[in-house]
A = this chain, B = another copy of it.
């Protein structure tokens, strides 16, 4: 599919993608660039990529596909480094969770012949780093492309096929819509999980061991999400701050409403809300976006 693919940042997503490319024979050569020499050595040792070096310029040279898989806050630095070393007519993509802001800031700095097509694979785990990756991470997950005006049609089709080859289903969407939808399905759930665990930590004091002990009552589910990569998520909230703020307001409004219903012992109102929320789980399972087993199949 490609002669040379360069992945900038071999964390959970970058290293999973490198593995998936190798496993599915989608490139003759896969290279990566990481700031840390330790990581560069590790990804070679683990046979995740063929070559890896902290000199990003050197790695992107001759690459047909370049994938930025670093936190959003480092995009600017990455682009300034690589822009003059990209192969003519190369495809440039990323795997970031926010699109609208970055799509234009990257575009401005690119040579005209580069097809800049941001990608967002809706996949991941609470773990971080190259050891945490695996080639099946993208299987049966959606990947959203938000092509820039500089993207060639044939390249969009090629990148779509690429994601399909690693197991994803692909949607093409406007960046603005992407950021709105994802703030609902991903960003706010993460923020709420971070906030509930933070609230718990702030109040537990002398009851710390009790909170850990009895976490199977519900809290443990939130601690999984709140164990996600802190830098990555910090950047996501800041980059999508307008949608995040609006959603927080709506969330608090609903929570205040629910609090009032509880204080007033308004059984009917509470029941009505809880019956409504029960239904969406079935739709998600039917859509293949979660497993049907109770407790996520945990024992």
Residue numbers of A with Cβ under 8 A of B are 73, 97, 122-127, 132, 136, 141-142, 144, 171, 180-182, 184-204, 207, 210-228, 230-231, 233-234, 237-238, 241, 244-245, 247-248, 250-252, 254-256, 258-259, 262-263, 265, 267, 270-271, 273-278, 280-284, 287, 289-291, 294-299
Contacts and interface: CB of A to CB of B under 8 A. Distances in A.
Given A217-B122, A218-B190, A289-B216, A280 B234 contact: no
A97 B214 CA distance: 12
A126 B282 CA distance: 12
B298 A198 contact: no
Contact of A273 (B194, B217, B220, B280): B194
A294 B237 contact: no
Contacts of A254: 195, 198-199, 202
Contacts of A244: 259, 262
A132 B295 CA distance: 12
A270 to B, nearest CB: 5
Contacts of A187: 217-218
A211 to B, nearest CB: 6
Nearest to A203: B250
Nearest to A195: B255
11 contacts: A126-B281, A141-B216, A182-B217, A191-B258, A197-B280, A201-B277, A203-B250, A212-B280, A212-B284, A248-B255, A295-B296
A241 B263 CA distance: 6
A285 to B, nearest CB: 9
